[in-house]
Each structure stands twice: as structure tokens, then as C-alpha cells.
Amino acid sequence: MEQSLATVTQFSFSTTMLEQLAHETQESAASLRTALKRAVPVVVQALAGRVSGPDGPEAIWKLSREAYGANVLEPMAAANHVSWVKRGESLMRGLLGETYHFTVLRVATAASLGQPAAERVLVAAAVATLGVIGEHSQEQSLTPATLAEWLTREGSTLHESMLADTGSNSSIATVDRTSTPPFTEPATTGACAAVGGGQTYTPAAALVAARPAVRWQWGALLLAAVVLGYIFGNWNSGLFGSEKAPAASVPVISAEAAKANNAATGGRYDAASGNYIYDTGQPIILRLADGTTQKVGANSTENRLYTFLADPGQQVDSINRTKGWINFDRVYFEPGSTTLTDESFMQLRNVASILKTFPASVVKLGGYTDSTGNPLKNFQLSETRAQTAMLAIAGMGIDINRIQAKGYGGKYFITPNTTPEGRALNRRISIRVIKK
């Protein structure tokens, strides 16, 4: 490929494809082209980071070959088009995590688009990039390993060009990804605490309380700078859940403080996907005993599971087996099926990494549905979903003898099934430690 991946992807959007996108979004082709110039580099960097994670090369190799085989670089039939739009959105939500909405906002601002249109452009960029990668992979007979090497080079080259383009007057902050500082206690800002062979950091509360009030305009500008700096400066450290050396600037809290916040978990119902989107709380850093780290929320599945395994004061209740269940907050299935969505694998990988650092532990996965439909079919669906999640974790290096799976259908609902939100909450996968 003589031109860069980002360049080829941008020019892969034919006039017909742009007109179709313009019709869908009710925006001008010129604005959409501007938005694509912003969105495509984001996608390339995210995919380049993904291939450095567990199972990344194989996943991107397979997905890109599928995209190319589906002719995503050409106008598609309606059913195929809708399917790939959904897959592209799931992929980008999984890759970008909590920065997804900020990225959409940045694209919208750069191209003067509405946020729904900007989100659609980001998804279109993701699908097209996969198609270009798949075409290149097939033409060059790339293996997953050689594809990963090429994609990593593309991401590095793009990152360097972004650094050169920003200049001293740019408002976009960047960070050298090759020289991430070690996880150390910031001077005079709080205290570190050892937890189960790992470590968490708690910022000093006084610093937050002492922060002077500012006018909202300056606060908004500061927030924008921080968000954009996070997006462009922390691709490797924030997208895929596990790495060796976290940036010291990321806020973290202690496991004790996290436990106090667990009861406050909230969220919202997403009508488009039919899923409940959990609020995982204040971002924290978990540093595991093997030196890897995870950026998660204080109320997240990962933090609650890790805290239970690491805290000797918390023991398995062998009498009441309904206690100790922890709901996964980012594991979803395609509607009515047993197929995990793309973004689900990030949390499953995080859980697998935690279980690796507690080799004596044994866990049980529970699958649940809402109460609509046939009870027997619901039971079978929940059983298969639990087994699917079990096999996914086992495929990430955990002995399958350490994982059990059981479906419970519509039993043990956590909220009434009278509303779409309630039904979404009841459709879930949970995990319980049965041996520490």
C-alpha cells in the first residue's frame, strides 16, 4: 500500500457512498468529507492499539476479511448495510470506551455537524477502514501476525504526523506513548495502598476541596483540553483495559473508597440497543500483582471482583449461594441470540487477567433473561449465554475447570419486568467467586 491506511480509507468513500451518507444524516457531502478526515485517523489508531492486545491480531484479521468479503467499500443492500452499521458502532464503542461520546463530540465540532451525524460518520469510517484493511490483507496474503505488524506501523506513523501537525499553537494535547512514566505515588497528592499484591492510589481530598471556582467558560475550555489530550495521548493505555505502565495523571482511588461507592451504581436504558448502560463510577487504576494495570470504574465488575479476591476479610458464603453475585456491566449479546457483541470482549479479557493473578480461585457464571416469552426457551437461552461467556474467558488463558456456568432464565430478577429498562437490567451475565 503506497499511501497510508488513513489516506486510502478517506478516498475509498465514493461520490455514491457520500451521497448515501448525506441522505441518511441530512448533512452536506462537504461537511461529511471534513468529518471523515477527523474520524478515520481515530479509527486507525484505535485498531492499531487493538492488535497489541490479547487475541487482537486474529480478531482484526478475521473482522477485516469479513468486511472486505461483504463489499463494504461499495453501496450495500439495505439489510447488509444496517448489519455493518451496528457492527461498526459496537466495535467503536468497545475500542473507545468512555471516550466514545467525547470523540463523537470532537468530530461534530470539527465539521459543524450534529452529534447523531458525527456518530454515523465515525461508524462509517470504522467499517470502511476494516474493508481497506481486509483488501490489503488479502492482496498481500497477510497472516494475523504480519497484519498486526503492518497496522501497528500505520498507527505509529499516523501518531507521529499528528504530533508534527499540532504545533505549539494547537489546543490538542499529546503524550509520547513510548515513554509512559511508571506507576509511582505523585508527590504530596495522596497515598498509595497495597491491595492483594497490587496497588491503588487515592488522591488527597483537600486538593479537590481547595480548587478555586472559575467561570463556566474557562471550565469548559479546560475540560475540552483534558478530554482531547486523553483521547490522543492515551490510546494504548485507555482503550484495551490492560497494560504495563499507567500514566500518573489518571485519577485513581483506593479499593476501600471504591467499595463505599458500589451501592451507588446507576446508569440509563439505551433504546437503540435495548441494553442497560451502567455508570461504572469514578475512573480508577487497578494494578495487579503481575504488574499489569486496568483502567476501570470504581463500581465496575472488575474492581468489585478484584477487591473481593484480594481482601482477606471477604470470604465466600458457602451457605447462602444467592449472595456474592457481581453483574457484568459491559457484557452484552446480540438481541435474542447467544452472540457476544464486540465490546463485550474487553471486559471478559479484564476478568480473565484478574483470575490469572488469583490462580486458586474458582468462579461461576450465571445467565439471566427477562420474563417475556417462553420460560423454557428463556432458560435455554440463558444457559447457552453463560456457557458462551465461560468459553470466551477460557479461551483467554483460564483453565476451564476453574469456571462453571449455569442458566437461570427469568428467575432471580433484580427489578420488575414491567418496563423496557427493567427488562434490560434483568437480561444479564453475573459472576460469583465460589473458591478463593
pLDDT in tens, 258-295: 443 343 458 999 999 999 999 999 999 998 988 888 99
- Whether residue 73 contacts residue 1, with contact meaning beta carbons closer than 8 Å, is answered with no
Query: Using DSSP, how many helices (H) and how many strands (E) does the chain show?
Result: 16, 10
Residue 252 has pLDDT above 50, yes or no: no
With a CB cutoff of 8 Å and minimum separation 6, the contacts of 16 are: 75
Rounded to the nearest 5°, which phi and psi values hold at 321?
A: -80, 0
> Can you read off the three cell numbers belonging to residue 292?
499489569
Indicate whether 146 pLDDT > 90: yes
pLDDT of residue 1: 64
Please state whether 145 falls in left (phi above 0), alpha (psi between -120 and 50) or beta.
alpha
* pLDDT of the residue at 236: 38
Residue 405: DSSP 8-state: E
Residue with cell 483488501: 135
Residue 163 has pLDDT above 70, yes or no: no
| HSE toward the beta carbon, residue 200, CA cutoff 13 A | 25
Average pLDDT over residues 178-190: 37
| pLDDT of the residue at 305 | 97
d(CA 48, CA 40): 12
For the chain, the residue count is: 436
Give the tens place of pLDDT for each residue, 362-416: 999 999 999 999 999 999 999 999 999 999 999 999 999 999 999 999 999 999 9
Q: By mean pLDDT, which of 127-136, 223-232, 240-249, 328-337 is the weakest? A: 240-249
**305-308: long-range pairs with CB below 8 Å, 24+:** 305/351, 305/354, 305/431, 305/433, 306/195, 306/196, 306/198, 306/255, 306/354, 307/195, 307/255, 307/258, 307/259, 308/433
Instruction: Report whether pLDDT(166) > 80.
Output: no
User: For the residues 10-37, what does the mean pLDDT come to?
Assistant: 89
- Condensed to tens digits (0 to 9), the pLDDT of residues 334-349 reads 988 999 998 899 999 9
Q: Is residue 93 over pLDDT 70?
A: yes
Long-range contacts, 145-149 (Cβ 8 Å, 24+): 145/57, 147/51, 147/57, 147/60, 147/61, 147/64, 148/51, 148/52, 148/56, 148/57, 148/60, 148/61
Least confident of 15-29, 237-251, 390-404: 237-251
User: pLDDT above 90 covers what percent of the chain?
Assistant: 48
Considering only residues 2 and 216, tell me which one the structure prediction assigns the higher pLDDT.
2
**120-138 average pLDDT score:** 92
Beta-carbon neighbour count of residue 10 at 10 Å? 20
- pTM comes to 0.46
